[in-house]
Chains A and B, each alone.
Chain A
Amino acid sequence: MKTPIIRNCLWGVLPVLLLIFAAGLAYSTEGGVVQIYKNATAPFDDETQVDAALTLSIPSVLVTERYQGGRFRTETRKDKIQRFSCSQCHNNKPVRVAQAAEIAHGEIVLNHGSEARPLSCYTCHKKDERDFLVTEQGTKIDMDHSYQMCGQCHFRQKKDWVGGAHGKRISHWAGQRVVKNCTGCHDPHSPRFKKRWPVTYSPPLSKGK
Chain B
Amino acid sequence: MDPRKNKICQKPQEKDCQQTKQRGRREFLKGAARVAAFGGAAMLAGCGGSMLGSKEELSLRWKEYFKKHYSLMTQEEKDETVRRLEQLAKIKKNVNVQMSSAPPIDGVLFGYAFNVTRCEGYMECVAACVKENNLDRKSNMQYIRIFEMEHGQLTPEVGNAKFYHQVPVEDHFYMGVQCNHCQNAPCVKACPTKATWQEPDGIVVVDYDWCIGCRYCIAACPYYGRRFNWNDPVVPKDEMTKKQHYLGNRMRGRGQMEKCTFCIQRSRAGRLPACVEACPTGARVFGNLLDPDSEIRFVLKHKKVFRWKEDLGTDPKFWYFVD
Do A and B originate from a single complex? yes
A residues apposed to B, CB below 8 Å: 32-33, 36-37, 40-46, 49-50, 52, 54, 67-70, 156, 160, 163-169, 171-175, 180, 185, 193, 195-205
A68 touches B282 (CB 8 A): no
Which one of A36, A67, A168 has the greatest number of beta carbons of chain B within 10 Å? A168
Is B225 located at the chain interface by the 8 A CB criterion?
no
How near does chain A come to B131, taking the closest CB pair, in angstroms? Answer: 10
- The dominant DSSP class at the B interface is loop
Is B303 located at the chain interface by the 8 A CB criterion?
yes
Residues of chain B in range 155-173 having any CB-CB distance to chain A below 8 Å: 161-168
Q: Given the known A-B contacts A49-B107, A52-B269, A202-B146, are A164 and B294 also in contact in the complex, defined by CB atoms under 8 Å?
A: yes
Residues from chain A with Cβ under 8 Å of B166 in the complex:
195-197
> How far is A165 from B284 in the complex, measured between Cα atoms in Å?
9
A198 touches B279 (CB 8 A): no
B145 touches A37 (CB 8 A): no
A166 touches B323 (CB 8 A): yes
B126 touches A49 (CB 8 A): no
A202 touches B106 (CB 8 A): no
Query: Nearest CB to that of B174 among chain A residues?
Result: A198
Task: Choose from B140, B183, B270 the contact partner of A50 (Cβ within 8 Å).
Answer: B270
Residues from chain A with Cβ under 8 Å of B224 in the complex:
205
A44 touches B291 (CB 8 A): yes
Q: Given the known A-B contacts A49-B107, A165-B295, A198-B167, are A33 and B288 also in contact in the complex, defined by CB atoms under 8 Å?
A: no
Residues from chain B with Cβ under 8 Å of A70 in the complex:
293
> How far is A37 from B297 in the complex, measured between Cα atoms in Å?
8
> How far is A81 from B306 in the complex, measured between Cα atoms in Å?
40
A37 touches B271 (CB 8 A): no
A173 touches B109 (CB 8 A): no
A49 touches B108 (CB 8 A): yes
Q: List 21 A-B contacts (CB under 8 A).
A: A32-B315, A36-B290, A37-B111, A42-B292, A67-B298, A70-B293, A160-B302, A163-B295, A163-B299, A164-B294, A165-B298, A171-B272, A173-B294, A175-B270, A193-B168, A195-B168, A196-B122, A196-B166, A200-B142, A203-B162, A205-B161
- The dominant DSSP class at the A interface is loop
> How far is A196 from B292 in the complex, measured between Cα atoms in Å?
37
A165 touches B115 (CB 8 A): yes
B127 touches A68 (CB 8 A): no
> How far is A46 from B294 in the complex, measured between Cα atoms in Å?
11
Residues from chain A with Cβ under 8 Å of B146 in the complex:
202
Which one of B127, B139, B270, B288 has the greatest number of beta carbons of chain A within 10 Å? B270
Q: Given the known A-B contacts A33-B317, A202-B126, are A171 and B277 also in contact in the complex, defined by CB atoms under 8 Å?
A: yes
B145 touches A202 (CB 8 A): yes
Query: Nearest CB to that of B287 among chain A residues?
Result: A173
